[in-house]
Structure 1
């Protein structure tokens, strides 16, 4: 099975093939216009007397050879290819008893000019257009100097087709350049977003663990002489928290080093199902966490589940580090159209000291999910964090 669908049939043809078909079509059209077709009393254009003679056919063969040689060099040397094709178009016109290079003989040049302008820098495209206009003007100038008739009006129409081909190619070139710039910008934004996501995950995981470790270590230092058993339990909790944090860091760094094509058994991202373990670990550290569940508990999309857990984790970490409160209450409310989260304590209140990365990260998580976030003093004192995350209609 193909990884990607094949391109459309017209996209599979190379510029060389398109210019070759254009020359063949123009040559066939030239002969067709000089024949009496069904329903016509006479042909639209009278053929030159020597068009069907050996010398006329020889000139046509040589002109076709020049054009086909130019088609072969279109990818490698585009300006040389245009020069050969212009020479072939002018040569083929000498057997038609006309005063200009007809449009049918110039179609291949127009197609080549389009591809050159679309694929090459502006300088090459402008040079190609100047060569095409110059060849048309030079053909008329030679006929004027020789005292022959010229078809100025018809040649102006042919020149207009060259300008249109150049404009179309330039438009395609600018569209491709714009698409590449957008792709590069999107890739850069994706890298930045991934870095921010990793930074948030590291902050939430490390900040919570370090807060628990600091609290347990302080408790152990206070009771190490009077209650060695409790000090030993506190240090065991410090060891456990440290090992879990180190394990999480190793998993995250390993995922960063691993290529996308390598299969890997990754531990599922944390979610609200891990809230009991978070409350137990924090309670063991000395800050009792009461969890209340409201509404009908149901599965949530992974991004909402992870963000809800991280917001609660960071809020509990702020209680441990800044609130000086013996307890806090976590409320998770499964509503019809949203998930509401509230973390409240009865501590000293006020915003957490420091740089505020925790609150900014929680607010950013809620904003990415088109939710709402608020943090500030509670109505009964202390500090309260509230977040509302909308739930997609398909999983309500």
Structure 2
């Protein structure tokens, strides 16, 4: 039997809770970039790239002579934000529904004793009041059901048993000052006693069902034994034949069994719902972790690859061509700053208290491809671009996925293909966006994982950061690209071409409004 799987709505709800779990909003820098807030040792400087460029010394770690820098005095005080949005409205509706259900339950429970009391007031004999008090005793203890279910059950049974004993003693006394007058009143007394017993049985079964749904089996067994004993004893007080007594006992046992089974069914449903909630929470956490991993991989791997190439160029020409070495260092600085800005943007998005809030910096898209390809061309990779179809604005998630797929594919070419040329094709179709990156290199088709350098201290001999050794494998680039395409119900293929080289192609479907 397979484990139950949570639905998409449940996973989206948990993902929403995870993204809104930030305990407090994060203040922003004057320039609009989000500042990581948290440990004081991490919060030493607001903008490390600008501090470094200005010649500022790095922040000292805790325990040095100057200690940890003091927190920002101008930072606004953080107060716990009131829960708003869909989750807050749903909680308010749930609370209002709980109050309405409680009021309805109490009105139903008190209806019969009040009606019985009204009927007794119109009787010529005041002895009927003796049944109202046991009837109230059989209903009022329900207020203690959630906190003291066993005590509630005992009080309810005591009320019903008292009503039965009272009715039996009055009827046994016969007509007179203690008993009811003969005739119709006597039959009414017996009928009222049976009604109180029926009310007590209903409340008892409800209490047993609640105990079976919320308490341990030991407590439920004790309550069921007490209910059976008291109700069977009460049934024996009534003047009836053995057949009617046996029928009453069978009804009592059947009612207790049904109440117990109902409580067990409620318990199983709650456990099933709790299991689904836990699975949805784990799935949402896993999806969020994979999303963050994809963003980090696509952002950092590309930048580190470009930095490695430029560093190799600078190392080789630092003596013969100082100007080229300076250009390589400038490219390294620019790439590092862009990477740091991207990390800040991603951390700011993760720390936003409201996930519906628009980010300060827009996510990259197809309009940023020229700038991306420029970094590769500066690193010595000739990237040819062909555009097909009518270029138009697409949904941000489609443009971001296409941008990241192109970025990762060309980064793999620069790092592992062993060639200085590749081709990018962007095809704007009517119902889908297609991107394709091909090269004529000799890279390994097994995932194009990072190669292992074998030079001294991990250095390599080639400008792409490798020494021509075989691929180590185990990279997550193609896996991440496939996941990005699958999230949009698209598909991606990656593999060697028959004529040589490698090919990465992705097809991303477009929504109806953008076709």
CA contact (8 A) 1:324 1:347 kept: yes
In structure 2, C-alpha distance between the alignment counterparts of 1:118 and 1:154, rounded to whole Å: 26
- Residue number in structure 2 paired with 1:109: 204
Q: Deviations over 1:363-383 (max 9, x none)?
A: 222223222221122243211
Partner of residue 179, structure 1: 273
CA RMSD, 1 decimal: 3.3
Aligned residues of 1:66 and 1:84 also touching (Cα < 8 A):
yes
1:43 is matched with none
- CA distance 1:56–1:81, shift in 2 (3 Å): same
The 5 A counterparts of 1:230-241 are: 230-241=324-335
Indicate if the aligned counterparts of 1:26 and 1:107 stay in contact, CA closer than 8 A.
no
Structure 2 residue 507 is the aligned partner of structure 1 residue 388:
yes
> 8 Å contact 2:117–2:132 — kept in the other structure?
no
Normalising by structure 1, report the TM-score. Answer: 0.83
The one of the two structures with greater contact order (alpha-carbon pairs below 8 A, sep at least 6) is: 2
Asked if 1:169 corresponds to 2:263, the answer is yes
User: Contact 2:113–2:132 (CA<8 Å) still a contact in 1?
Assistant: no
| Matched residue, 2:456 | none
The residue aligned with 1:53 is 125
* Greater displacement, 189-198 / 380-389: 380-389
Provide the secondary structure at the position in 1 that maps to 2:394: coil
Within the candidate set 112, 115, 132, 1:25 is matched to 112
| Per-residue deviation, 1:251 | 3.1
Q: In the alignment, which residue of structure 2 is the partner of 1:361? A: 480
Identify which of 143, 163, 175 aligns with 1:72: 143
Partners of 2:376 and 2:97 lie apart in 1 by 65
Q: Work out whether residues 439 and 501 of structure 2, in 8 Å CA contact, stay in contact via their aligned partners in 1.
A: yes
Q: TM-score, normalised by structure 2?
A: 0.65
In structure 2, distance between residues paired with 1:9 and 1:152: 45
Shift of 1:262: 11
Number of aligned residue pairs: 377
Aligned equivalent of 1:218, options 296, 301, 312: 312
Decide which of 320, 323, 333 is 1:229's aligned counterpart. Answer: 323
Query: Residue 47 of structure 1 corresponds to which residue in structure 2?
Result: none
Q: How does 1:211-360 map to 2 (within 5 A)?
A: 211-257=305-351, 259-260=353-354, 265-351=359-445, 352=448, 353=471, 354-360=473-479
More displaced 10-residue stretch of structure 1: 205-214 or 10-19: 10-19
CA contact (8 A) 1:16 1:72 kept: no
Offset, 1:204: 0.9
SS in 2 for 1:6: helix
Aligned 8 A contact 2:153 2:204 in 1: yes
Residue 172 of structure 1 deviates from its aligned partner by 2.2
The alignment status of 1:195 with 2:289, answered yes or no, reads yes
Q: 2:299 aligns with which of 198, 205, 211?
A: 205
Mark the CA change 1:268 to 1:128 in structure 2 (over 3 Å): closer, same or farther.
farther
Structure 2 residues not aligned, in runs of 5+: 1-83, 168-188, 449-470
C-alpha displacement of 1:102: 4.0
CA deviation vs aligned residue, 1:347-372 (integer Å, no higher than 9, x gap): 12432223231112112222232222
Shift of the 8–202 alpha-carbon distance from structure 1 to 2, 3 Å rule, reads: closer
1:376 alignment partner, SS class: strand
